[in-house]
Every structure is written in structure tokens, then in C-alpha cells.
Amino acid sequence: MISQENQRVGAERNPWRLSVAPMMDWTDRHCRFFHRLITRDTLLYTEMVTTGALLHGNQPRHLDFNGEEHPVALQLG
């Protein structure tokens, strides 16, 4: 059983019971949408995206998301 004390960040209660780590070529928008369907209490991250990929690569592949995924964090590397 998880104690309530472990669910606190500073003075605030931590709403995230699960955090899905960013994984290159895995945590794409389809994967994040699937995780969001499982639970709303998950902190989701994009796969790591380099600035070079954003400037010179396929931006929609890296930046597209479904509104149902929120909140989601972009990881820049």
C-alpha cells in the first residue's frame, strides 16, 4: 500500500500515480494515447527529440499529439 505521504510533492498532493518514461521510437503519439486510455493519472512524456530533428526533420512526427493525451511533456535532448 502506498502511503499518502509518498504522494506529496512539496506541500501539494502529487496527482500522478504512474509516470511513463520517454523511450525513443516507442512513446509516440499512438503509445501515449493508449496509455491515456488506461488511466488519466499518468504523467506522459514524448520520446526524446533533438533540436536538429525539430529544425531539419519531420516536425509533425515529433510534435503532433491528440488533445486527449494532455498533460504531456516534451523531452528535448
Going from the first residue of the chain to its last (77 residues), give the mean pLDDT of each consecutive group of 10, the final group possibly shorter.
Answer: 52 72 81 88 86 90 83 84
Q: Is residue 56 part of a domain?
A: yes
* Residue 42 domain-assigned (yes or no): yes
Residue 1's pLDDT is 45
pLDDT (0 to 100) of residue 55: 93
Q: Is residue 8 part of a domain?
A: no
Say if residues 44 and 75 touch (Cβ distance below 8 Å): no
The count of structural domains within the chain is 1
What is the predicted pLDDT for the residue at 56? 94
Domain-embedded: residue 3: no
Q: What is the DSSP letter of 74?
A: P
Beta bridge partners, 13, equal 8
The reported pLDDT for the residue numbered 52 is 92
* 43 strand-pairing partners: 19
